Amino acid sequence: MSAKIFILYTGGTIGMAPSNPSDPKSALEPKAWEQLAQYMPSIQSGGYFTKKGITCSYHSFKTPIDSSQITPEHWIQIAEEIEANYDDFDGFIIIHGTDTMAYTASVLSFIFQNLGKPVVLTGSQLPISHSRTDAINNFSNAIHIAAAGVFGLPVIAEVMICFHDRLLRGNRSSKASTNDFDGFESPNYHPLGRLGEHIYLNQNLIMAPASDQKPFGLTKKLNTNVLDISIFPGLKPCTLRRLLDDKEVEGVILRCFGAGNAPMNKKFLDVLSEASSKGTLILNISQCVKGKVNMHKYKVGKKLLEAGVIGGSDMTKEAALTKMMWVLANVKKAKRVQSLCTDLRGELSY
């Protein structure tokens, strides 16, 4: 069996090198694909993967970027690259910086409609040129998932993150560490797979691929008129009001305490109620890494419900934010609340 893989290089630490070649301690900056590819002999002609029948094609951002510079426009660019090459390839790998990888993986899961092939994001904590880099292992594992059939593995038609021997659902992932090789967590959903000496995929957790009768496509409009607000002791209702009174704000991710709790004083609740009554969508997620929002558990949660706040269950901050952008742009007003509460791409559970 053979496979054709499309690799999109956006930038990130994996392809970085000192900005001043004569000064190894100078600031790192993204380099061109050609400099990165020379450290990957396994994908070159006569390399291990080519001998296995895997053909790789490559495309790079014109200017590779640090992922902290990613924008919704870049997300659309990535999605369109996948769409343009979808029919010609069996799987896709997106090489991406770690800072915003979980945001990109999450938003792509909503943008892609009827996905029937694997889309794997990967990168590294150390540049590929570093003597202790984690890049080679991460990239090799990503190829095994993107070209699953060659290795006798089931094809996973999802947007995923493959990092440090674990395969995670993209919209269940968050960056957890800046310096550990195990840089990502999937706090409320088990890994889809583990890639140790043997590759184990948990098929009970994997979403079914789209029907062959439904064509792949994009719903790529995003509404960025959103805010991400973290509640803290001492947050003044007048401060919150100034944020929510902005006429351009259409959606708010409200990161509350514990199971979705927040101050219960009348002024605070009035601010939320007024914003909600004007049509602003307010989605409640927990500040806790693990667990879920349960707005029926405590009195304060019920007060938030009465104020029009929507429960976000166990969504990550990345999934909640990008889902809000997607829902605001693609779902009719009457169905937006229902869509935010509904599991669309495996991003939440109750």
Other beta carbons within 10 Å of 199: 17
Summarize the confidence of residues 220-224 as an average pLDDT: 97
Active-site residues: which are they?
13
Has residue 198 got a pLDDT over 80?
yes
pLDDT for 196 = 94
> Considering only CA atoms, which of 110, 116, 142 is closest in space to residue 9?
142
Do 171 and 105 meet the contact criterion of CB atoms below 8 Å apart?
yes
pLDDT for 209 = 78
Summarize the confidence of residues 229-240 as an average pLDDT: 96
d(CA 246, CA 225): 10
Cα–Cα distance list, 175 to 178, 193, 241 (Å): 8, 18, 30
pLDDT for 45 = 85
Assigned fold of 3-218: Rossmann fold (3.40.50)
pLDDT for 7 = 97
Cα–Cα distance list, 138 to 20, 148, 309 (Å): 27, 15, 40
pLDDT for 10 = 97
The tokens describing 151, both together, are: 């290795």
pLDDT for 33 = 87
Do 54 and 3 meet the contact criterion of CB atoms below 8 Å apart?
yes
pLDDT in tens, 124-134: 999 998 889 99
Q: At what angle do helices 237-244 and 266-277 cross, to 10 degrees?
A: 10
Class in CATH terms, 226-341: alpha beta
Summarize the confidence of residues 225-244 as an average pLDDT: 96
pLDDT for 26 = 85
Has residue 78 got a pLDDT over 90?
yes
- Average pLDDT, rounded, for the chain: 94
Summarize the confidence of residues 193-205 as an average pLDDT: 95
pLDDT for 31 = 85
pLDDT in tens, 24-60: 788 888 888 888 888 888 988 889 999 999 999 999 9
- Render 262-295 in DSSP notation, one character per residue: ----HHHHHHHHHHHHTT-EEEEEESSSSS---T
d(CA 199, CA 201): 7
SS3 readout for 213-256: CCCCEECCCCCCCEEEEECCCCCCHHHHHHHHCCCCCCEEEEEE
Higher pLDDT among residues 30 and 106, named by residue:
106
Has residue 22 got a pLDDT over 90?
no
186 confidence band (pLDDT: 50, 70, 90): very high
Summarize the confidence of residues 225-234 as an average pLDDT: 97
Where are the chain's structural domains? Answer: 3-218, 226-341
Summarize the confidence of residues 61-78 as an average pLDDT: 96
Q: What is the sign of the dihedral through the CA atoms of 161, 162, 165 and 166?
A: positive
pLDDT in tens, 264-276: 899 999 999 999 9
241 confidence band (pLDDT: 50, 70, 90): very high
Has residue 210 got a pLDDT over 90?
no
d(CA 306, CA 113): 34
Cα–Cα distance list, 9 to 70, 153, 290 (Å): 13, 25, 32
The tokens describing 112, both together, are: 């892609």
pLDDT for 287 = 97
pLDDT for 20 = 84
d(CA 296, CA 21): 58
What is the distance of C-alpha 209 from the center of its chain? 19
Which amino acid appears at position 94 of this protein?
I
pLDDT for 288 = 96
Summarize the confidence of residues 284-311 as an average pLDDT: 94
Other beta carbons within 10 Å of 201: 18
Cα–Cα distance list, 254 to 224, 243, 313, 317, 333 (Å): 16, 12, 12, 10, 20
- What pairs with residue 170 in β-bridges? none
Q: What backbone phi and psi angles, to 5 degrees, belong to 322?
A: -70, -30
pLDDT for 44 = 87
Summarize the confidence of residues 299-328 as an average pLDDT: 96
- The DSSP secondary-structure symbol of 216 reads P
d(CA 48, CA 137): 14
> Considering only CA atoms, which of 81, 99, 86 is closest in space to residue 9?
81
User: Do 226-341 and 3-218 have the same topology in CATH?
Assistant: yes
